[in-house]
């Protein structure tokens, strides 16, 4: 009798375990909550040397390889900004386990280090570039930067992996301790968008420092932008405002367990 009870208990636990695992897998693959990841600069050094830069948004190539490798091994589909727009606005279906990978600023390391990893894995991503930085990097005598920016040649040769979008032409800075995009006059913002439009196509936008207001959104709409991304850590849903799309920032402090939780919809 006691033996039968033990067997019955084991059977019940097995069924419950199956249900829990099934539900977790289902939540991961339904595509009802879309993780958008935000990266910046990548270096070859390991995480111990990253402390030299005192900037957690800089990650190691090793970390990036691990994260992208995990996505590939676990059947995640990288999508485009337009895919996400169609999902939010027109409620179109996305591939299994969708994830949108983004980079802000437009550093050369995105081309030299991230591109080979993404290409090998068959993955794609979006880069939000600072217009004047790219324009300067493409000139005959570019200004020196500690972290070099990509140029037009880089962009032309990596469109099989990357899509490129606006991170302002020259408003990625602070004014009186506040992001310039929200402190500038309307005319100045319009001029900045016009300057960007002269050198690059625009369809999507990333708010510098995640700062925006109603005026910014109105200008984006007037320039026919379809989507805009913030730095608020949350998922994108079918009812998400396309001009307030949240993103999870991935930094050198992000553990593999945290990364998996984010992309699995468990954060």
Alpha-carbon distances of 116 from 17, 160, 233, rounded to whole Å: 40, 11, 27
Residue 249's DSSP bridge partners are: 38
Domain 33-263 has CATH 3.20.20.370: yes
pLDDT digits (tens, 9 = 90+) for 124-176: 999 999 999 998 888 766 665 678 999 999 999 999 999 999 999 999 987 77
Rounded Cα–Cα distance for residues 155 and 48 (Å):
31
Kindly tell me if the per-residue pLDDT of 92 is higher than 70: yes
Decide: 208 and 167 in contact? Cβ < 8 Å.
yes
**Per-residue model confidence (pLDDT) at position 141:** 63
Q: Are 153 and 135 in contact (CB under 8 A)?
A: no
Q: Give residue-wise pLDDT tens across range 34-44.
A: 999 999 999 99
214-256 pLDDT, tens digit each: 999 999 999 999 999 999 999 999 999 999 999 999 999 999 9
Residue 143's CB is within 10 A of a number of other CB atoms, namely 10
- pLDDT surpasses 90 at 108: yes
Please, how many CA atoms are within 13 Å of residue 206, restricted to the half-sphere of its CB? 29
DSSP, collapsed to helix, strand or coil, labels residue 101 as strand
Location of structure tokens 């001029």: 191
- Residues in Cβ contact with 77 at an 8 Å cutoff, skipping those fewer than 6 apart: 94, 95, 96, 97, 98, 99
Rounded alpha-carbon distances, angstroms, from residue 117 to 69, 113, 236:
9, 7, 25
User: Which residues have a Cβ under 8 Å from the Cβ of 56 and sit 6 or more positions away?
Assistant: 50, 251, 252, 253
State the pLDDT at residue 192: 95
**Torsion on CA atoms 106, 68, 252, 138, rounded to nearest 10:** -10
């Amino acid at each position: 009798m006691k033996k039968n009870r033990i067997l019955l208990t084991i059977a019940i636990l097995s069924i419950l375990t199956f249900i829990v695992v099934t539900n977790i897998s289902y939540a991961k693959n339904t595509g009802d909550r879309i993780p958008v990841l935000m990266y910046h600069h990548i270096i070859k050094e390991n995480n111990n040397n990253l402390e030299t830069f005192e900037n957690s948004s800089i990650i190691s190539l090793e970390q990036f390889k691990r994260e992208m490798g995990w996505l590939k091994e676990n059947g995640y589909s990288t999508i485009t900004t337009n895919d996400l727009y169609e999902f939010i606005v027109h409620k179109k279906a996305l591939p299994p386990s969708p994830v949108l990978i983004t980079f802000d600023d437009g550093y050369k390391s995105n081309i030299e280090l991230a591109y080979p990893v993404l290409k090998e894995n068959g993955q794609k991503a979006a880069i939000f570039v600072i217009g004047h930085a790219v324009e300067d990097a493409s000139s005959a005598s570019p200004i020196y930067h500690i972290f070099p920016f990509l140029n037009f040649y880089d962009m032309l040769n990596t469109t099989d992996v990357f899509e490129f979008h606006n991170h302002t032409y020259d408003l990625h800075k602070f004014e009186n301790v506040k992001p310039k995009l929200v402190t500038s006059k309307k005319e100045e913002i319009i001029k900045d968008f016009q300057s960007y439009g002269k050198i690059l196509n625009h369809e999507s936008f990333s708010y510098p420092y995640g700062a925006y207001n109603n005026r910014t959104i109105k200008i984006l709409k007037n320039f026919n932008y379809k989507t805009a991304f913030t730095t608020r850590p949350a998922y994108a849903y079918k009812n998400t405002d396309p001009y307030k799309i949240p993103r999870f920032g991935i930094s050198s402090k992000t553990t593999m367990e945290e990364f998996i939780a984010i992309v699995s919809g468990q954060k």
